[in-house]
Amino acid sequence: MELLKGIDVANAINEKLIKESADMGGRVPKLAIIRVGERPDDMSYERGATKKMEKVGFACESFVFPETIENEAFQKEFDTINDNPEIDGILLLRPLPKHLDEEAVVGRISPEKDLDGISPVNLAKVFAGDKTGFAPCTAEAVVEMLDFAGIDVTGKRVTVVGRSLVIGKPVSMLLLKKNATVTICHTKTKDMKEECRRADILVAAAGVAKMITAEYVGKGAVVIDVGINVDNNGKLCGDVDTDGISSLASVATPVPGGVGSVTTSVLAKHLLQAAKENR
């Protein structure tokens, strides 16, 4: 089994971005990260995104609000950022605290700044297979990894485990657009093992630590692990028991160091695209 590492994919994207951004005429693409409260997950993603923007030479500003901010005040702050022409793209760390109206923000974020594809306009474009929109970064990172590894998905059986609007559904649509035959599985699926085992490419986005064992993997399958979980020993792990499937899969992505490492590079790619449109 070949281990497909995110760092290699990310580096390839980064290099391309640095080249492509050279002709921006000195205008540096700028990302706004919006965070409410101090959730460790959010802060970790924020650090990763900030570092990635630095790496490719893009600007990044964090707008951090206390968890106690009132809804009206937050909506106003959001509009100011959303309307600021200096800001090319926005990353909103979600979920927001429950007292804040997240739906209102999602409905109002400018589609052309909506780098993580949360607005209805971008969701509809992903659904339609219209590439002018922004797909959720993690979903697109899966596609970037397959592309980098030279895996053509045309006509292949892809099984996606998970049907969230952030990963399962958009990655299904992106791979369908690339002519894969896509099966979407979830907790209500009967005989999940069989559905997974027949896949040429298995995308695990269930959010269940190491649920994908050898019984779920067909000989020679490509296994992309989108899960980020903590195992019984408090260690970060994916949805895939990578050691357990190593004699079956032809290619697998590790966690950590897999899809997650590519996500912020896709974010940077989206930022450059937004900045070019915004010029």
Question: From CA 278, how far away is CA 274, in angstroms rounded?
Answer: 6
Strands of 110-215 (E only): list them: 157-161, 181-185, 201-204
Question: From CA 4, how far away is CA 146, in angstroms rounded?
Answer: 9
Site for its own copies contains 165 (CB under 8 A):
yes
Is residue 100 within 8 A of residue 56, CB to CB? The reply is no
- Binding its own copies by CB under 8 A: which of 20, 163, 208, 214? 163
- Binding its own copies by CB under 8 A: which of 73, 83, 104, 120? 120
Q: Is 164 annotated as a binding residue?
A: yes
Q: Which of 242, 235, 238 is nearest to 227 (CA)?
A: 238
Binding track over 187-216 against its own copies, x by CB under 8 A:
-xxx----x---------------------
Angle between helices 120-128 and 168-177 (to 10 degrees): 40
Q: Is 163 annotated as a binding residue?
A: yes
Site for its own copies contains 179 (CB under 8 A):
yes
Q: Which stretch binds its own copies (CB under 8 A): 59-67, 142-150, 178-186, 214-222?
A: 178-186
- Binding its own copies by CB under 8 A: which of 73, 104, 124, 230? 124
At 26, the amino acid letter reads G
Closer of 190 and 219 to its own copies (Cβ): 190
Angle between helices 259-278 and 40-56 (to 10 degrees): 60
Q: Residues annotated in the binding site, as ranges?
A: 162-164, 228
Can you give the binding site for its own copies, defined by CB under 8 A?
120-121, 123-129, 154-157, 163, 165, 169, 172-173, 176, 179, 181-186, 188-190, 195
